[in-house]
Amino acid sequence: MKFSSVIQTSLIIRAALIMGTTTIGGVMLFMAMQNDQEAEIDLLFGGIGGGLFVATAVASFVVPGVMSSQASQIIDEEVARKLRHGEELEVIPATMQDSVTIWQTGKMIQGVVLEGGAVVNIVLSFIGHNAINLIFALAAVVLMAITSPSASGLRSFLERNCMARK
């Protein structure tokens, strides 16, 4: 398994989640603009949307963290040495592939949880003509973009995994 392939696949999945959310948001926004009703601040929908945003944001960090703590691998000493010295890791050894799969799955779950909160806020905004829900949806999309999988993120995950096993 190539290091770059893992990152590329993870980024494609995250980009698809972001694009799906923004497409749904665009369609809903277009439909709302056809309705000729002014946006307002509704405390009920705003409170539900805000609570949902906070819950999904917290869950998007907690669930992958719990998953990554389950990564127990036999660490190749050569790989551990490379990671500690900041050397490039082109190929992920078979002994670490389960850990990498756990990292990828955690990143997917993180994105999906945030996407779910964003879509619900978009729907709440459409139903209640509530502008604040669009802000929560946008915040979830921004959080999805900020927490996108990266080479440095995978590298630090593998380093932590190596250090934990020493």
Residue 49 to residue 152: CA distance in whole angstroms: 32
Q: Is 26 exposed, middle or buried (0-12, 13-18, 19+ CB in 10 A)?
A: exposed
Q: Tell me how far CA of residue 132 lies from CA of 1, 52, 137, 154, in angstroms.
A: 44, 13, 9, 35
At residue 129, the pLDDT reads 80
Please indicate whether residue 93 or residue 14 has the higher confidence score (pLDDT). 14
At residue 37, the pLDDT reads 64
Whether the predicted pLDDT of 166 surpasses 60:
no
- % the chain with pLDDT above 70: 87
At residue 43, the pLDDT reads 77
At residue 17, the pLDDT reads 94
Whether the predicted pLDDT of 72 surpasses 70:
no
Q: Is 2 exposed, middle or buried (0-12, 13-18, 19+ CB in 10 A)?
A: exposed
Average pLDDT of the residues in 68-89:
70
Average pLDDT of the residues in 57-76:
77
